[in-house]
Structure 1
Amino acid sequence: MSTSPDTVTRSAATNKSGPRSVQVVRSNLLLHAVLIIGALAMALPFAWMLFSSFKPLGEIFIQPPKLLPQDWNVDGYGTALGGADFVRGFWNSTYIALTVTAISLLTSAMAAYAFARIDFWGRRGLFMVFLATMMVPGQLTIIPLYLIMGGLGWVDSHLALIVPAALFNAFGVFLLRQYVRGIPVELEEAAEIDGAGRIRRFVTIILPLLRTPLTALGIFTFLGQWNNFFSPLIFLNSTENFTLPLLVNQFKGQFTSDWPALMAATTLLAAPMLIMFAVAQRQIVEGVALSGSKS
């Protein structure tokens, strides 16, 4: 019985691709195993923090360590939420982060549009200087910034946290400029022919097309302000003005610490971030990709 050439060709292709398919499957399994191990290693501190918030103080340092509490209780959450300071700090952190995020998105989009579309003298050099500020640690500029805030009378005021962060965001300008440069100029030229001015073109054409990077930048900015500990520590003195990171730090004493209350307060502080990441994971990944995808 004779075999057709097509049958021989298909059999040879199947035999050739078989080992390669097995190798691909093994590589994928190995990759997923490594990723799962890494994910578990990163999730373990969060799990330890969460379960420790339900432990009594005597179980925190029990040997050998146990992840799950033996005696479940919510005394730590009662201590953390017992006073009005924590609720006030939650409000302070929320409105400061939201205010900085809203203003920063507007100012960053305007600056990015100017650097990408408006041809003015020294634009390239000014943008390089603007980006160079990202390489300067904030600790180096905190003393002159404190002197400026003191001269304005903003020390121990939330304005010291809102105004500098909202009006200057070098990363935000860089991210949005990369995306604006990828928007076809013909869209603005067509609107200009119809009589639209610069502001109208920015509002009606550019901003709607910046929805994805603006969402990613908003998430980054909000999380950065929510976790900000250094600036409030420097500028704020009154307990009623404290943000959540400062209040959480008060549960840690010089000689002893209320570990269940500290774990409970830290869990409450981290919960909004974890929820935001779970809801907006795709936008966060796209934002990281956009920062280097367009030139």
Structure 2
Amino acid sequence: MNQNENRREKEIAAQAIDDVPVNKHKHYTAGQIFWKILKYAFLIFVSLCTLIPIVVVVLGSFKTQSEFLNGSVFALTKSWSFVNYKTAFIDGGMLEGFRNTAFILIVSMAGKIFFGAMFAYAVNRFDFKLKKPIMTLFLLAMLIPAIASQVATFQIINGMGLFNTIWSVILLNLGTDAMSIYIFLQYLREIPYSLDEAALLEGATYFQIFRKVIMPLLKAPIVTIIIISGVGIYNDFYNPLLYMPDDDLKVISTALYAFKGPYGTNWPVILAGVIIVMLPILILFLTCQKYIYNGVSGAVK
């Protein structure tokens, strides 16, 4: 009898639960609807501001000079041809520009990562008398605008005999980089000291600890720095133009400058060159975006 009553009570309770109306649609107030519309309108506006220039560059790279100058920037070309890309790559000497840019990028980033990680390791793991003054001077150097010291920098580079050589730009790229050091510092704070102590007990030196223990654990910040700092080196126009004026030392940014002259500018060819320059960075970003997001979020923490 009790079992039947309990069963009956469960059936009534289950039926009561089923009869309760479920509100599947959330009701918004007028204020919430207004802010949602404003939010999405702003996002669409920002997206259009980002995408429209890219669309103009892509469409313009396939046009002739007359089509580009006389027609609308959004008008489609009559003949889709890769002549502008061929002209930009061959006549602009972009192959040589890519070679010089790759050499500058590889050497500069290797130096930035090695010296930056070593500096961050020394600051994070050791206490010494001039630690705070060194960090203060380092930050003060970053606050000085680079353009304010260009005359002195040029005289130093010229006095060292590096003017019109590829090593002048590499030496400038190896200068202070506070962002890279702070990214390394944030990750080093998460690496326990017990790893260093265990390696010391095994007879390892501090440099062996840095090379074999610390560096393998810094893959995420290394990839982040390669992307963030590497893009700046890759797109650098001012330093190569000023310190490497020789035609044999052109980089991809100065190679595009060859199509701009006093008697006219071949904009479709320049736009085609811009697309060629964008592709390596775009591919690298899409490939390594997971490490970039992890590195930046770790630095923010």
Q: Distance in 1 between matches of 2:260 and 2:235?
A: 17
Q: Residue in 1 aligned with 2:268? A: 260
Q: Can you list the C-alpha shifts for 1:230-285, whole angstroms capped at 9, x where unaligned? A: 11121112111111111111212234211111111111111111111111122222
Q: Runs of 5+ in structure 2 lacking a partner? A: 1-8
Q: Can you list the C-alpha shifts for 1:46-73, whole angstroms capped at 9, x where unaligned? A: 2211221111111113444434322222
Deviation at 1:32, TM superposition (A): 6.2
Does residue 1:281 correspond to 2:297, yes or no? no
Aligned AA for 2:204?
Answer: A
Q: Distance in 2 between matches of 1:77 and 1:131?
A: 43
Q: Residue in 2 aligned with 1:234? A: 242
Runs of 4+ that moved beyond 6 A: 20-23, 25-30
Q: Is the 8 A contact 2:67 2:77 kept in 1?
A: yes
Q: Runs of 5+ in structure 1 lacking a partner? A: none
Aligned CA distance change for structure 1 residues 6 and 113 (closer, same or farther; 3 Å): farther
Q: Residue in 2 aligned with 1:123? A: 131
Pairing partner for 2:190 from 182, 185, 190: 182
Q: Is the 8 A contact 1:56 1:73 kept in 2?
A: no
Aligned AA for 2:183?
Answer: L
Aligned AA for 1:122?
Answer: L
Q: Any residues of structure 2 matched to 1:162-201 within 5 Å, and which?
A: 162-166=170-174, 168-201=176-209
Q: Residue in 1 aligned with 2:158? A: 150
Q: Residue in 1 aligned with 2:6? A: none
Q: In structure 1, the residue corresponding to 2:26 is in which secondary structure?
A: helix
Q: Is the 8 A contact 1:113 1:180 kept in 2?
A: yes
Q: Is the 8 A contact 1:85 1:240 kept in 2?
A: no
Q: Any residues of structure 2 matched to 1:26-65 within 5 Å, and which?
A: 34-35=42-43, 37-65=45-73
Deviation at 1:36, TM superposition (A): 5.0
Aligned AA for 2:157?
Answer: M
Q: Is the 8 A contact 1:103 1:167 kept in 2?
A: no
Q: Residue in 2 aligned with 1:104? A: 112
Comparing 2-11 with 38-47, greater Cα deviation is found at: 2-11
Pairing partner for 1:71 from 59, 76, 79: 79
Q: Residue in 1 aligned with 2:4? A: none
Aligned CA distance change for structure 1 residues 67 and 177 (closer, same or farther; 3 Å): farther
CA RMSD in angstroms, aligned pairs only: 3.1
Aligned AA for 2:243?
Answer: F
Q: Distance in 2 between matches of 1:110 and 1:21?
A: 54
Q: Distance in 2 between matches of 1:6 and 1:182?
A: 54
Q: Distance in 2 between matches of 1:10 and 1:133?
A: 71
Q: Can you list the C-alpha shifts for 1:188-213, whole angstroms capped at 9, x where unaligned? A: 12222232221121122211111100
Does residue 1:208 correspond to 2:226, yes or no? no
Pairing partner for 1:113 from 113, 121, 127: 121
Pairing partner for 1:19 from 26, 48, 58: 26
Does residue 1:140 correspond to 2:148, yes or no? yes
Q: Distance in 2 between matches of 1:67 and 1:94?
A: 36
Deviation at 1:178, TM superposition (A): 1.8
Deviation at 1:185, TM superposition (A): 1.3
Aligned CA distance change for structure 1 residues 158 and 7 (closer, same or farther; 3 Å): farther
How many residue pairs are counted as aligned between the two chains? Answer: 290
Q: Is the 8 A contact 2:63 2:268 kept in 1?
A: yes
**TM-score under structure 1 length normalisation:** 0.86
Q: In structure 2, the residue corresponding to 1:276 is in which secondary structure?
A: helix
Aligned CA distance change for structure 1 residues 65 and 50 (closer, same or farther; 3 Å): closer
Aligned AA for 1:157?
Answer: T
Deviation at 1:186, TM superposition (A): 1.8
Q: Can you list the C-alpha shifts for 1:150-200, whole angstroms capped at 9, x where unaligned? A: 011100111101123125423211211121122111221222223222112
Query: Which of the pair has more CA radius of gyration?
Result: 2
Does residue 1:160 correspond to 2:168, yes or no? yes
